[in-house]
Structure 1
């Protein structure tokens, strides 16, 4: 080990050189002194990760004493042994979702940035293994103070899933060491933070035929063209899931149908959901083609290389209601539009089985899950054409 006397005696040479204070335990790293040609003496914590040298500057001597430099070096070693940061864990989880084809990966990435890493940079930099329930509580509490309700539970669920991903990576015998990044997790800190159950009540709101007509005819003047046509398209196609639809780029749109990746099942069960296009849906795409024909996504947002974000769409629906409360029987959200379509397609005479298939619901019976590979395209196409005719004709939703 170096002494203060040796440190003082070190002289500048024709080039920079380094001297180790001690080698330390394998994998812990060590304290090094770098003597520059100017005579400046710098302390570094050095360790090898995946056969690559990682250096962290601790300070300059004599402003930082040798004793204090050793303490900082020990602290740096402890932090390294704690594993990668929370930010790295969240990025790893988002990458996993993207690799699996989950339509929600962009939304998850956005929510982590919006509510975790940007407002809480000090927590994001912590080793994931040092994140405690109190940190999670503070993240969610700040959301609640800002007026966020149900989505607070969504962020909690996503954080819980991210930590489970990290635990699985290190404890599953088939996953361990598959990735060079390790987190050193022993438990999931989100588990001890309760869900706000009063914000998880099942929705029951469905718009009446009259209300759906009011909504449809308010859209062109109240919202942007892309947002208006997107909401109309969702209605025309029987209430598709916005997140999944918006993940379909132009290559998935065809002459008479659009392909939507169904990401609601478990890994290995995800399938492509085929949605036939009726006259109303084709009309939406034709009107949009005037401004988005060259874009990767038909329903593109401010960034022309990306789809409009579902959160922007949700806010637009809520704002539309707030400006026209007297025209509706009560509040409604983007999610209620899907329920409305499911309900009113029944009024239009479409069977529950075909309504379920139009909306991409999973069928869990053995026959459907393992044996039935029929695509039901003709049945869905006939039903959606009947749905469009009902909206225009008998229900007079579209004026």
Structure 2
């Protein structure tokens, strides 16, 4: 066992060297002090994970005393570092979403890769059990420094869900024995990182009829053909959720309707959302069929076999406004188009319940949730046909000044 006197007497050498504070039980880890060539003496907690030595810095002597370092060491011993790395948690969560058919799976996968795995390659290799709130904070700080606001909260939510899944795997007595990979988590490191609530104010931007007509008639000229037809289809379909539509494969586009899977709700509760076609929707699908009738997704992106990504669509809309701001009454985003459709469908004569059903909103009352199994297909079909007729007269064929 080390003493303060022995630590004080340790002399620097040409290279770093480490002195251990005695022994501990196998697998528990041990307190060590590292002496730098410049004379700095640092306390570390050392453990072996998957055959490799892992060091966690506790502090610098004498600012951190030997007694305090031992207290910190005892706290570290309570954390069992398992083989499961941070990247394994991310991968397992994505696999879970894909297995459930969640429409958000591709977005979450892109988000983890773009904001976590690629910018922090060393961090994702660390055992998940050794991550703390500070590590999550640093990931989000990088996004904030890049000017990303609302999506910062989205990533926080995705990471929280991933770690929550890993925790449930760790403590669910029915599934624990079935899992070979263990994470050793005791808590969710994301829970202590606050949501930036001022970035979560509900939006209220909806385009006017004239603005929607301007946007529609600009599409073929100012955006790619696939992006233009996708935006037309989304609008003609009453403002469907882009991430759900883009996750829907061609095989789910049937003769007179398409079937999407709602990503709302927890495992086992994600429901199918049926959207009947109208004339304008069929026109867009016909254009995409002329490009390819065999692609996995009707609205295929640059990568063969992969759908256009929601983030690419969102950026296209934002850039389109930026280049032609003088033609609109103010900024708008992809998300605002769903609100625009909801608002203007009311102008076209559709009632609130029908608009909600067309957009796939969940009905939380007991009757709807547990007893009503009617599909409302004919009602939605008539509603979307009425919406298409209104769009044709007021948007598609509108004469702009």
Question: Which category describes the TM-score, using the shorter chain as reference length?
Answer: 0.7 to 0.9
Distance 1:177 1:96 in 2: 18
Contact 1:129 1:186 (C-alpha < 8 Å) held by counterparts? yes
**2:214 aligned with 1:214:** yes
Distance 1:97 1:172, change over 3 A: same
Q: Residue in 1 aligned with 2:336?
A: 336
**2:168 aligned with 1:164:** no
**2:381 aligned with 1:385:** no
Cα deviation, residue 26, structure 1 = 8.1
**2:232 aligned with 1:243:** no
Q: Secondary structure in 1 aligned to 2:122? A: helix
Cα deviation, residue 132, structure 1 = 1.1
Cα deviation, residue 78, structure 1 = 11
**2:83 aligned with 1:83:** yes
**2:174 aligned with 1:174:** yes
- What pairs up with 1:87-166 in 2 under 5 angstroms? 87-166=87-166
TM-score, normalised by the number of residues in structure 1: 0.80
Distance 2:96 2:271 in 1: 17
Distance 1:241 1:229 in 2: 15
Distance 1:277 1:129 in 2: 49
Cα deviation, residue 192, structure 1 = 1.3
Q: Secondary structure in 1 aligned to 2:368? A: helix
Show structure 2 runs of 5+ residues with no match.
1-23, 29-47, 55-76
Moved segments of 4+, more than 6 Å: 24-28, 54-58, 77-80
Distance 1:289 1:397 in 2: 21
Contact 2:261 2:273 (C-alpha < 8 Å) held by counterparts? yes
Q: Residue in 2 aligned with 1:5?
A: none
1:281-321 deviation line (CA, Å, top 9, x unaligned):
00001111121322110000011201000000000000000
- What pairs up with 1:169-318 in 2 under 5 angstroms? 169-318=169-318
Distance 2:133 2:110 in 1: 22
Q: Residue in 2 aligned with 1:67?
A: none
Distance 1:183 1:352 in 2: 47
Distance 1:350 1:57 in 2: 65
- Root-mean-square deviation (CA, aligned residues, Å) is 2.3
Cα deviation, residue 197, structure 1 = 1.1
Distance 1:211 1:134 in 2: 45
Cα deviation, residue 273, structure 1 = 0.8
Cα deviation, residue 157, structure 1 = 0.8
